[in-house]
Structure 1
Amino acid sequence: MSDLTELRERLRQQRPVDWEQLPDFPLYMDQVLSYMDRQVIRFSEEDSLTAAMVNNYTKSGLVPRAEGKKYHRTHLAYLTAICVLKHVMSTRDMDLLIREELQGERPIQDGYAAFCASLDKALRITADEMAARGGETSLADDAIHFALLSYAAGVASSRYVALLRQQKDAEAKKTKKERE
């Protein structure tokens, strides 16, 4: 059970750094990849961000283009959100939410702060839920419990995304009509 204790402690303690703590100097790709390993909770190399992934996210418009071959705070904020969200939603849905949170009407640092605050709350809730279960059930029972919580949250998230997409489509139609 020490693996679960370690997980619970990482859920309680490991967080992406605040905007002000993100490097305020440009990083090269290998530095970005190394930095991102500390931004998110990972347990295996399979979860690592790769240069090919960053390039794909950039090509698809999820991440702004690097300036030369250098990446800045903004890139790290986008990549942090992507590294977390890619586990639970499609690229299309991620794109919509990232555009809304990080490219919306508020400054990127505010969107990043809101993202980090929501992540912090979700991680604390999960760690508390693990502690409350206290190892009184089997690993399978606990795994099903957390899978079902994930399912319920996923259903809610999908509905929110669908409503947001409808809202954006209606705004685009209204804007198009106004231009005509």
Structure 2
Amino acid sequence: MENIIKKMNLDTYLSLEEIPDLDLYMDQVIQLFENKYADTKRNEDEKVLTKTMINNYAKGKLFFPIKNKKYSKGHVILISMIYQMKTALSINDVKQTLDKLNNKITEDEFNLQNLYKSYLHLLDSNVNMFTENMEEQVEEIKNEVAMLENKDEEYLQQFLLIAAFTNMSNFYRRAAEKIVDELEQDEKED
């Protein structure tokens, strides 16, 4: 399990210091993400970020409008958050989640960098919680498989780990979707 956790590169994220203060062209944004998240890809053919993805995010208004075909530090922060959220939520849910934030950025001069610092702090905390929980799951599954008295213990452990992890993933995704639904309901009431 330690080897799997190490290969997952859970502590890979764009820090504020790694995001340039000057505006970037799309190709530079893509290169920044490709360089940073290269080790998190499942295989070499996988793309972290493409022009099509960024154009779709812009057309879908997932982030506030760009100026002169350049992306600010705020855009890169939002693209980083979109990159993380889109693996679990639909693009519509991501948009719903970011709508009010985008409005705050453009209308209230909201300090997105402070929010991103909090986001990164929680990300670090989540990595620690995940690692601890994973160790507990492995022990529990070993005990369960031992009671089955079957010769193919390694496969059964792997099977149950996959099942348990997908269950937990679904629980968290469904909880996030419920919160997105609440955001939508709150907007309708306003």
Shifted more, 56-65 versus 120-129: the winner is 120-129
Residue 26 (structure 1) aligns with? 23
Work out whether residues 102 and 111 of structure 1, in 8 Å CA contact, stay in contact via their aligned partners in 2: no
The letter for the 2-side match of 1:111 is: L
Work out the number of aligned pairs and report it.
168
| Structure 1 position 65, deviation (Å) | 3.1
Aligned-residue offset at 1:6: 2.5
- Does residue 35 of structure 1 match 2:32? yes
CA contact (8 A) 1:101 1:112 kept: no
Structure 2 unmatched runs, 5+: 143-153
- 1:162 aligned partner, one-letter code: D
Distance 1:27 1:107 in 2: 20
State the shift of 1:21 in Å. Answer: 4.0
TM-score normalised over the length of structure 2: 0.75
Q: Secondary structure at the match of 2:168?
A: helix
Query: 2:82–2:94: 8 Å Cα contact kept in structure 1?
Result: yes
Cα root mean square deviation, aligned: 2.5
For 1:30, give the aligned amino acid: D
The aligned counterpart of 1:14 is 12
Do the aligned residues in 1 keep the contact of 2:63 with 2:98 (CA within 8 Å)?
A: no
The offset of 1:5, in angstroms, is 4.2
Structure 2 equivalent of residue 162 of structure 1: 181
Matched, 1:124 2:128: yes
SS at match of 2:46: helix
**What pairs up with 1:99-138 in 2 under 5 angstroms?**
99-101=99-101, 103-104=103-104, 106-132=110-136, 133=138, 136=142, 138=157
CA-CA distance at 1:7 after TM superposition: 2.9
Instruction: Summarize the alignment of residues 26-175 of structure 1 with structure 2, pairs less than 5 Å apart.
Output: 26-37=23-34, 38=36, 41-44=40-43, 45-101=45-101, 103-104=103-104, 106-132=110-136, 133=138, 136=142, 138-171=157-190
Q: Which amino acid aligns with 1:155?
A: R
8 Å contact kept, 2:5–2:131: no
Unaligned runs of 5+ in 1: 172-180
State which drifts further: 70-79 or 128-137: 128-137
- Normalised by the length of structure 1, the TM-score is 0.79
Evaluate the alpha carbon distance shift between residue 59 and residue 93 of structure 1 in structure 2; reply closer, same or farther with a 3 A threshold. same
103-112 vs 87-96, greater mean Cα deviation: 103-112
Other-structure match for 1:4: 4
